[in-house]
Amino acid sequence: MRGIARQPRTDAEEARNNAYILADLELMAQARNYFAWQRRLIAPHLGRRVLDVGCGVGNLTGTLLDREAVIAVDKDPECIARLTRRHGHRSSLVAVVADATAPEFAALARFGADSCLCANVLEHILDHRKALGAMVEAIAPRGTVVLLVPAFQALYGPIDANVGHYRRYSRRALVDLAESAGLRIEAVRYVNLPGLIGWWLNARVFRKQAQSEGQIAFFDRYLVPAVSLIESLVPPPLGQSLLLVARKP
């Protein structure tokens, strides 16, 4: 598929991507309506003890801390440091530096999580099958797994490359990935139809290298309230993202 980096990134490429990711995450922090929307989509499927894999700087994690425990995991120590500065005062937060493809990830099972959230993370991992398998192993039997990923490889553009995306997903590819990890699919749907149009413009027309603060602010203030309401009533046939909910046997 076009846009996929088929080999592991070099150290220099990884460092460059990490810098873009941190800048993008901080830029997205202003999008309060957007993350509130994500919470409304995701939270009903999560239990009381959530394993949040790829938490970044905590833009979404911070909306979920009303639970018994959120075990927030990221392989980048700087992300965990920024998350802790923002939300470390919350007693429900457990922040851990860990890589889902590393053997030591299995130790996270000690937290007894009953659900796993992986939002906009799998596309950053070359061996996404191994990573998802490790997440499934780390939660309790009959635990829920919620995946949010970017949709449509045709939308892959400079921003995807700069933030280290190996791929975007088709609906079939995401379902196959979840089933290969032994999960039973409960729901899968597209999310954010206007975002699909905006991402296509950025990728194919304007060839933007990064999201702009103005675009994010406009989308969050003027579009998200209406779009989130409409899509809660009528699920869109297409979208910028795919949301999948599955259960561990």
- Residue 174 belongs to domain spanning: 11-247
Count of the separate structural domains present in the chain: 1
Note if the pTM is more than 0.85. yes
pLDDT tens for residues 106-150? Answer: 999 999 999 999 999 999 999 999 999 999 999 999 999 999 999
pLDDT at position 15 is 87
Q: How far apart are CA 74 and CA 55, in angstroms?
A: 6
pLDDT tens for residues 229-246? Answer: 999 999 999 999 999 999
> Within a domain: residue 4?
no
> Within a domain: residue 23?
yes
> Within a domain: residue 114?
yes
Residue 6 has pLDDT above 90, yes or no: no
- Residue 102 and residue 96 in contact, taking contact as beta carbons nearer than 8 Å: no
> Within a domain: residue 36?
yes
The Cα-based distances of 195 to 141, 142, 203, 223 in angstroms read 35, 33, 12, 9
- The CATH number of whichever domain residue 164 belongs to comes to 3.40.50.150
Q: How far apart are CA 97 and CA 104, in angstroms?
A: 11
pLDDT at position 3 is 42
Residue 5 has pLDDT above 60, yes or no: no
> Within a domain: residue 37?
yes
pLDDT at position 2 is 42
pLDDT at position 1 is 40
pLDDT tens for residues 172-223? Answer: 999 999 999 999 999 999 999 999 999 999 999 999 999 999 999 999 999 9
Residue 90 CA to chain centroid, in angstroms?
Answer: 22
> Within a domain: residue 212?
yes
> Within a domain: residue 132?
yes
Residue 51 has pLDDT above 60, yes or no: yes
pLDDT tens for residues 68-106? Answer: 999 999 999 999 999 999 999 999 999 999 999 999 999
Q: How far apart are CA 97 and CA 81, in angstroms?
A: 9
> Within a domain: residue 6?
no
